[in-house]
Amino acid sequence: MKRSDCFADVKASCGASLSLPTYAQWLVVAVLLVLLWFAPTVGAASIGFNDRQVSVSAREQPLPEFLRDLFGQLDVPVVVSPAVKGAVNGNFSGKAQAVLRNLSAAFGLSLYFDGSVMYVYMAGETLTRTLMLPNAAAATKIKRLASEMGLVDQRNYLRTTSEGVVMVTGTRRFLEQIEELYRADSARREAPSALSFKVFTLRYAWAQDTTVNFGNRQLVVPGVASILRSLVSGGTGIPGPAGGETASRATQTKLRGQGLTRAPQQQVLGMGEESGSAGSAEAVGRAYGSARAPTDAPLQAPAAMSTPEAMVRIQADTRLNAVIVRDLAERMPDYEQLIRALDVEPVSIEIEATIIDINTDRATELGINWRWNTGRSSFLVGNGTASDRLLQPGGVPAESITPQGRGGVVSAVLGDLSQFVARVSALQTQGAARVVSSPQVVTLSNVEAIFDNSSTFYVKVAGKDEVDLFNVSAGTSLRVTPHVFKDTEGTRIKLLVNLEDAAISTTRQVDNIPFVQRSVINTQALIYEGESLLIGGLTREASESGVDGVPGLSDVPFLGRLFKTERKSTGRVERLFLIAPRLSTRRVPAVAPAKPALRSPADSGLPTPSGPVEPRMPMAPAPASAPAASTRVTSSGYASALSAADLDSAKVTQPFRAGMRNGQN
């Protein structure tokens, strides 16, 4: 375009400026020339009519009508904003791109082509909106799609953040296109995808819930299937885990004279529980070992069941110890990663619990020694006997702490740096102490071990037509949950101990029902590997009675008292619980001995009989020679060889040994 034509166009578009003074006209011309030089091209989608020639004349023609005539020659639909106003005078000819640039600079227009329609706005109509997307990846995707479609230019652009926020700046039509693109992408993401099934086989963890019954309590440990189900059950109606401890029903109801021999009804697969109705999904689920009956989930509307979240199913298969998941295919890697983190090899722990009863009335005869040891100095208060040397660190081997056949030694370690050692030597030979029981069990880290030794009697509860029996249990119950971890100071074991000691009184009764005395201790402890935990303080009254007499004569009325002796004794007994956890050493799998290859008689060098073989009488066995070395497998999994002399000298009885030996088992 020539400079004279440009000046004429400017005068035509700014008709009111002809009355300005001469220097003002030149100033306006200079400003417009700068605007023409830096004026942007038509934005957004590529335009195929930029190089087409146009020629339009206008005399005080409104700007919206002039734009419609101009784009009419280009065969392009145009939408003009109501804010576009003004009058055009002059002749406009040349390439379409140059003419549009002049008009945009003169009237402050902003042109946007969406690919089919040209939109004309005022420059001040630029808008900014913010879109919240699920994540940064979705925001980056919207920005990439807008750029690939050619919707972005210098005036219409997008800015994204790492949190999924998209800020859109541009004309109104540009914002509408970005919102349409966002809605289309959201609809594609929300469209129901095809469901997939996958079976995850477990090695160390249980897929189903495990139930432990002890006394009148029931403990349910959630399996991997219940844990996964609880994680995805937010608002979908999928039942959560059944973990926790509940009280069992203590009454045997509706016996109808059948007593305890009445067995519960066995449900037949495919039949209802009480009525002979058709088969239910609950019965099928129990038959296949489901962790939770599917009837626990509430019914949902058909519209809600069509969503992928409502169709998620997680089931446990007890036959394979596996978890079956029905969900979207893209979510399966997340399930696999979570299941791999849950299915880890636990640490095996051997727990030995020793229950000791000590007669507190004879505490002065037991010998109580105290020692305070800080590493640099020590202080000893003893009874002046040779047993005081047992408290010297390093002075006596650890095996000498518990003499053979002398009873037991109970030790406890309190404190961290300064160890306060209290030793009570109880001599079983003198009857001052008695080892009630010493159970041992191997459990896993974070898995509860239960020792339950209780007695149960039933109380008849009368009714109108039926009789119920209420069971009452009493005894000793010890529950220990170990947790093994390592820190900078070595391997440590955290113990969660629940202890219950109950006894049935034969002397105290209420309505001919025995009185039950119950003591409960709940505690936690943190010990090092090799140490033990001692729990005491449970004291109760103990009584014993008996009659010694001459048989026959002692049964004579009145005169029999001269031939018999009645004895009664009472005392106070304190019960101690010594819990000794030990890590089980990893064992090497046993290898079966190789079977010898079968050989023919010719290969073995033995004579081959030519005729039938006659049976022979068995010969007397030769005198037994000295037995070969045998193998004894200990509780820790190691084997030790014993010679014949050792077998002859081995004793059946094993003295009670318990205690803590400063980090040694």
C-alpha count within 13 angstroms, C-beta hemisphere, residue 527: 26
pLDDT in tens, 534-546: 887 777 776 667 7
pLDDT at 194: 78
CA distance 507 to 545: 13
pLDDT at 201: 94
Question: What are the start-end ranges of the H helices in 191-310?
Answer: 224-231, 281-287, 302-305
- How many C-beta atoms lie closer than 10 Å to residue 303's C-beta? 8
All structural domains of the chain: 3-124 (3.55.50.30), 126-190 (3.30.1370.120), 196-254+279-297+304-345 (no CATH), 350-583 (no CATH)
pLDDT at 600: 53
- From the first residue on, what is the mean pLDDT of each consecutive set of 10 residues in the chain (665 residues)? 38 36 49 42 56 84 89 88 88 86 87 88 90 87 88 89 90 91 81 82 91 74 90 56 53 51 43 40 40 40 48 90 91 92 90 82 48 51 49 45 38 40 44 77 88 82 72 85 89 90 78 81 88 81 72 78 74 83 74 60 52 50 43 33 37 36 38
Kind and range of the H or E element at 134? Answer: none
pLDDT at 324: 94
Single pTM value for the model: 0.47
pLDDT at 307: 52
369: phi > 0 → left, psi -120 to 50 → alpha, else beta; which?
beta
**Contact (CB, 8 A) for 300 and 310:** yes
**Contact (CB, 8 A) for 499 and 477:** yes
pLDDT at 10: 37
Whole-angstrom CA distances from 469 to 123, 251, 462, 463, 627 are: 91, 6, 9, 10, 58
In 529-599, DSSP assigns E strands to 533-549, 564-583
**Contact (CB, 8 A) for 246 and 233:** no
pLDDT in tens, 302-340: 343 445 566 889 999 999 999 999 988 888 999 999 999
**541: which residues sit within 8 A by CB, 6+ positions away?**
570, 571, 572, 573
**Contact (CB, 8 A) for 246 and 261:** no
